[in-house]
């Protein structure tokens, strides 16, 4: 019997697990995919929003500002890259300027610090590569950027280091409400738990239905993105938003913590909860917008395009509800969900405590996790010390991002272990660079096979049927 | 800090060729830094034949061609380090490298030759829409899977791009039992060598669809198919021609990009047309003492030409170091600028710094039959030569002798194509 079962190992599930791991509780995370961070968390704008956007008085507004304030410390503890680069919401038409003022006022009400309204001159002084069509902007110096899947992996890893269990490839198919808790059935052994956190993202309404809760629905909203190579960032420092519309915060241009340039997202409602394909129209729209914001952006520097789904809830706000005692929804966590994640986690844990979850601090709780990416930032002397201790660190596997075999092997053995090619990529950045794994892909595949002690043909890109090869050359021919 | 006269970055055909030539021009203190666990570079996975026809007048496989040069290195006792990644080069030629045995180390080089080769354009660079399943490989990655690792990337293949590696892989995968459905080429002509189209596609009954591209990729976990369409003159897909083709694998052979990240760190100015360094006739970049050759400088069709260029760079470095006795003073005596004009995409070198016999390499922008290659100096024709056929996929040359160049000092040479 677990104290808490968390359904979904995205950022909400991960942060909640970490929060719970401070206490003497038995917690399990059930994740339907082959790795953590496989849904909305792996494909979003990677922004820690300052908190001026949401309507005052909503959970979104409150938890955004709170989460944003906690984020820097959390990232530091977990060894996750975080950069407070500030954000700008830019008006291009006279009629957009009043909206800038509205956002400013809203930000003040929400408690966002140091907001300012900039005129064109001040704006261009901050971001010289902006289009001269930009008339003015809201400036939020507390806006920040973070790598969402890195934060997700680190939070789950830290929770696991503190005793949390992670069950991957575990798709929940049914929940039975019992006297002393819940019986969860799925693609693995049934799991019993006294509390459930439903952090199932675009499937959170489906999970809620399993306990008879039909109070909300989720509409997946696709966002398409393009990622540009390091040398395309140029002088851009801030996250550049357009004045928002009904469908979201508009298409943005932002540097990432890994010094790429991110363009996107589109906002397209759809029924399909799995379809993360890009479309020609979507990619064109992203490019057109980027050119409007930064006319000289080098679109030849695109290294990849991808899409993610936001879990848009039917209530307009986060759905943090308990339809059945002990069962907690974390539904409708669309933007600013990443920014709010630490606050949503505390909110859920506090409310579970009110329902009788006993929070007895764990004496040996360790809030820290060592950063994998530290090697590249070391001095020559420090690097040499590491290489002497582990010569694998002297062997570069991913030449584009300068990632060594040591980092890859460590990622395979750290919590939560990398089990596939994309898992290694998200943890180490091997394959994340300009050749997109063309050179290192086969080598990482070999390392995965060696470290997991499995045949090469069993290594996948991201689990399931995402196999990378169909067996040895001669064997294939003989079968034909 | 250790000092070395000549540090060569990369132990593929370019690096090895440059090392041998520099040695033969008198340089003894040479160090080749190679990131892989053996010399040879990409040739090691090119097990097909056709290498060395120009240079050795015989057909060699890639590893055989590489071995010829490796033996020359061994015969001269030229030092090299394997499994060694160069992390940084400064404009004053401090090379920072790393390997497992020595850790991170720095070398003050007298001269540097950049020979890092190129990489393949990935899917992201094409903006092809669709899903992102497993089973999408660049042709070179698939080649490594099959030829080095001995594993088949898939069974039913669509190849996008008719570059040479794509053509070679169409044949290779067919011979290994896969069904290659088709090769698609966005342009109305192939970028590959004619001999590869004949031997790889025609001989194996693999259709080549010119003016076609992939407009959508299907499959969640693994590739299940592609939507292909014909493109118009502006290379935009004609959606009414769209059709679904089943496959489990997509190979991309859509161009190669010189890998100049280190060059940029050394502040070496690049030519946007070649994506490689701007060089003079001895392949010296605009940073004194830093040379470049091979596919890091511009993408070659044949390794034979890489070797030729590597030797020019090796001898140039020897001259720069003052070892070969040739004059390579700091002052640029000739100041001749070389530029592409009508119908020409790029020229190499882009400048000529001394009056000496010089071969200028260039690529045309389109396929033409019966043309004249015209060289002008400040607008006046100084040389003109007929060519029966030119194509973007095949490198062209003009030879300019010292006598001609003596009259061109301070001028701008242009190379253009004239229809006859």
Give the model confidence (pLDDT) of A275-332 as tens digits. Answer: 999 999 999 999 999 999 999 999 989 999 999 999 999 999 999 999 999 999 999 9
In a domain, A289, yes or no: yes
A253 and A111 fall within a common domain: yes
The residue that leads in pLDDT, B354 or A225, is A225
**Closest chain B CA to residue A301:** B125
Q: CA B378, B380, B384: angle at the middle one, nearest 5?
A: 120
Residue A388: which of B103, B144, B216 has the nearest Cβ?
Answer: B103
Among A287, A309, A331, give the residue marking a domain's end.
Answer: A309
Percent of chain B that is helix, strand, coil (3-state, to 5): 25, 35, 40
Interface of A with B in 284-323 (CB under 8 A): 287, 300, 302-306
Could you say which residues from 164 to 223 on chain B have a Cβ atom under 8 Å away from some Cβ of chain A?
176-178, 215-217, 220-222
Q: Which residues make beta-bridge pairs with A7?
A: A30, A198
Of B197, B131, B130, nearest to B170 by C-alpha is B197
Same domain assignment for residues A291 and A412:
no
Q: Is residue A236 included in any domain, yes or no?
A: yes
Residues on chain A touching B150 (C-beta within 8 angstroms): 472-474
Phi-psi region at B103: left, alpha or beta (left = phi > 0; alpha = psi -120 to 50): left
**Cβ pair A456, A449 in contact under 8 A:** yes
End-to-end Cα spacing for chain A: 51
Which chain A residues touch B174 with a CB distance below 8 Å? none
Closest residue by Cα to residue B182 from B202, B157, B155:
B157
User: Min CA distance, A47 vs chain B (Å)?
Assistant: 22
Region B1-120+255-328: CATH code: 3.50.50.60
Q: CA-CA distance, A476 to A454, in Å (whole number)?
A: 19
Count of CB atoms situated within 10 Å of the CB of A174: 11
At A480 the pLDDT is 44
- Per residue, the 3-state secondary structure of B267-308, as one string, reads CCCEECCCCEECCCCCCECCCCCEEECHHHCCCCCCHHHHHH
Tell me how far apart the alpha carbons of residues B273 and B345 are, in angstroms, rounded to a whole number: 7
Share of chain A above pLDDT 90, in %: 93
Confidence tier at B125 by pLDDT (50, 70, 90): confident
Interface touch A468/B155, C-beta < 8 Å? no
CATH number at residue A274: 3.30.9.10
Q: Is A470 touching B (CB cutoff 8 A)?
A: yes
Domain membership of residue A449 (yes or no) is yes
Does residue B262 carry a pLDDT above 80?
yes
A289 and A380 housed in the same domain? no
| Degrees, nearest 5: CA angle B270-B403-B410 | 45
Range of the domain at A226: 83-144+219-309
ipTM above 0.90, yes or no: yes
Yes or no, beta carbons of A476 and B144 under 8 Å apart: no
* A258 occurs within a structural domain: yes
Backbone angles phi, psi at B236, to 5 degrees: -90, 135
CA distance B49 to B144: 16
Q: Chain A within 8 Å of B150 (Cβ-Cβ)?
A: yes
Domain termination residue (choose one: A258, A290, A309): A309
Q: Is the peptide bond before A404 cis (omega within 30 degrees of 0)?
A: no
Q: Give chain A's domain count.
A: 2
Looking at residue A108, what DSSP letter applies?
Answer: H
pLDDT, tens digit, for every residue of B267-320?
A: 999 999 999 999 999 999 999 999 999 999 999 989 999 999 999 999 999 999
* Residue ranges matching CATH 3.50.50.60 in chain B: 1-120+255-328, 122-254
Listed in order, the ranges of chain B carrying CATH 2.60.40.10 are: 331-420
For the B331-420 domain, the top CATH level (class) is mainly beta
Residue whose token pair is 């190979």: B251
Angle at the Cα of A393 from the Cα atoms of B101 and B114, rounded to 5 degrees: 70
In a domain, A166, yes or no: no
Name the residue of chain A whose CA is nearest to B87's CA: A402
Closest chain B residue to A441, measured at CA: B141
Strands (E), B282-411: 290-292, 336-340, 344-348, 351-352, 358-364, 368-377, 380-390, 396-400
Nearest-CB residue to B129 (from A279, A442, A472): A279
**Does residue A226 share a domain with residue A126?**
yes
Whether residue B331 is predicted with pLDDT greater than 80 in this model: the reply is: no
Cβ burial, residue A444 (10 Å; 0-12/13-18/19+) = buried
Q: If one looks up domain B122-254 in CATH, what number appears?
A: 3.50.50.60
Q: Which residue, of A253, A287, A309, is where some domain finishes?
A: A309
- Would you name the residues of A annotated as active-site residues? 49
């Amino acid at each position: 019997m677990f104290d808490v079962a968390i359904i979904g190992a995205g950022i909400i599930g991960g942060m909640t697990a970490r929060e719970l791991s401070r206490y003497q509780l038995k917690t399990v995370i059930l994740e339907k995919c082959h790795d953590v961070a496989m849904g909305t968390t792996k494909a979003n704008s990677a922004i820690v929003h300052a908190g001026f956007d949401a309507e005052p008085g909503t959970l979104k507004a409150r938890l955004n500002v709170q989460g944003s304030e906690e984020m820097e410390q959390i990232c530091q503890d977990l060894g996750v890259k975080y950069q407070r680069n500030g954000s700008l919401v830019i008006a291009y038409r006279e009629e957009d300027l009043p909206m800038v003022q509205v956002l400013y006022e809203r930000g003040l009400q929400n408690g966002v610090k140091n907001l300012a309204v900039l005129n064109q001159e001040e704006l261009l002084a901050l971001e010289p590569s902006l289009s001269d069509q930009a008339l003015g902007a809201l400036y939020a110096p507390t806006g920040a950027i973070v790598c969402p899947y890195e934060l997700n992996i680190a939070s789950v890893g830290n929770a696991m280091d503190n005793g949390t269990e992670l069950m991957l490839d575990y798709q929940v198919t049914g929940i039975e409400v019992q006297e002393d808790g819940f019986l969860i059935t799925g693609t693995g052994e049934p799991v019993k738990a006294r509390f459930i956190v439903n952090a199932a993202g675009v499937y959170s309404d489906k999970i809620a239905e399993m306990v008879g809760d039909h109070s909300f629905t989720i509409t997946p909203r696709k966002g398409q993105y393009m990622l540009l190579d390091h040398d395309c960032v140029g002088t851009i420092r801030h996250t550049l938003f357009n004045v928002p519309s009904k469908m979201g915060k508009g298409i943005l241009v932002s540097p990432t913590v890994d010094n790429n340039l991110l363009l996107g997202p589109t906002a397209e409602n759809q029924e399909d909860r799995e379809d993360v394909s890009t479309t020609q129209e979507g990619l064109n729209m992203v490019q057109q917008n980027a050119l409007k914001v930064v006319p000289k952006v080098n679109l030849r520097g695109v290294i990849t395009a991808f899409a993610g789904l936001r879990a848009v809830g039917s209530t307009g706000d986060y759905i943090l509800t308990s339809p059945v005692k002990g069962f907690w929804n974390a539904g409708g966590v669309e933007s600013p969900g990443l920014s709010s994640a630490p606050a949503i986690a505390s909110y859920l844990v506090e409310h579970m405590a009110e329902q009788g979850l006993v929070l007895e601090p764990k004496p040996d709780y360790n809030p820290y996790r060592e950063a994998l990416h530290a090697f590249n930032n070391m001095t020559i002397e420090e690097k040499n010390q590491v290489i002497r201790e582990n010569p694998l660190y002297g062997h570069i596997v991913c030449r584009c991002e300068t990632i060594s075999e040591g980092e890859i092997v460590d990622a395979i053995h750290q919590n939560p272990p990398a089990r596939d090619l994309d898992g290694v990529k998200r943890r180490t950045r091997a394959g994340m660079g300009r050749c997109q794994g063309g050179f290192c892909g086969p080598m990482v595949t070999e390392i995965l096979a060696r470290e997991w002690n499995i045949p090469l043909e069993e290594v996948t890109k991201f689990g399931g049927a995402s196999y990378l090869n169909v067996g040895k050359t001669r064997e294939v021919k003989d079968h034909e | 800090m250790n000092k070395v006269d000549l540090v060569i970055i990369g132990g593929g055909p370019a690096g090895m060729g440059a090392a041998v030539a520099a040695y033969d021009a008198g340089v003894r203190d040479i160090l080749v830094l190679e990131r892989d666990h053996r010399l040879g570079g990409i040739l090691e996975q090119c097990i097909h034949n056709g290498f060395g026809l120009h240079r050795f007048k015989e057909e060699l496989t890639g590893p055989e061609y590489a071995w010829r040069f490796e033996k020359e290195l061994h015969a001269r006792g030229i030092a090299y380090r394997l499994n060694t990644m160069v992390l940084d080069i400064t404009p004053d030629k401090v090379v920072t490298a790393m390997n497992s045995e020595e850790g991170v180390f720095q070398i003050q080089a007298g001269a540097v030759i950049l020979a890092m080769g190129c990489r393949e354009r990935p899917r992201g660079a094409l903006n092809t829409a669709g899903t992102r399943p497993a089973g999408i490989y660049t042709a070179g990655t698939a080649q490594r899977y099959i030829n080095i690792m001995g594993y088949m990337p898939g069974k039913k293949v669509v190849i996008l791009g008719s570059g040479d590696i794509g053509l070679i892989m169409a044949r290779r995968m067919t011979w290994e039992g896969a069904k290659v459905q088709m090769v698609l080429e966005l342009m109305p002509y192939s970028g590959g060598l004619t001999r590869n189209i004949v031997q790889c596609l025609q001989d194996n009954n693999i259709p080549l669809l010119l003016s076609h591209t992939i407009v959508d990729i299907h499959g969640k976990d693994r590739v299940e198919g592609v939507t292909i369409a014909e493109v118009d003159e502006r290379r935009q897909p004609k959606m009414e021609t769209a059709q679904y083709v089943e496959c489990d694998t997509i190979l991309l052979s859509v161009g190669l990009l010189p890998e100049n990240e280190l060059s940029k760190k050394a502040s070496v100015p690049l030519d946007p047309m070649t994506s490689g360094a701007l060089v003079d006739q001895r392949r010296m970049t605009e940073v004194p003492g830093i040379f470049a050759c091979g596919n890091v400088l511009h993408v070659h069709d044949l390794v034979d030409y890489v070797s030729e260029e590597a030797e020019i760079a090796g001898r140039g470095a020897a001259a720069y170091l003052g070892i070969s006795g040739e004059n390579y003073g700091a002052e640029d005596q000739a100041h001749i600028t070389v530029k592409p004009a009508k119908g020409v995409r790029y020229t190499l070198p882009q400048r000529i710094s001394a009056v000496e016999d010089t071969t200028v390499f260039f690529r045309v922008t389109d396929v033409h039959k019966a043309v004249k290659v015209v060289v002008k100096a400040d607008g006046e024709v100084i040389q003109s030569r007929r060519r029966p056929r030119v194509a973007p996929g095949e490198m062209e040359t003009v030879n300019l002798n010292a006598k001609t160049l003596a009259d061109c000092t301070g001028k701008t040479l242009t190379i253009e194509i004239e229809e006859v």
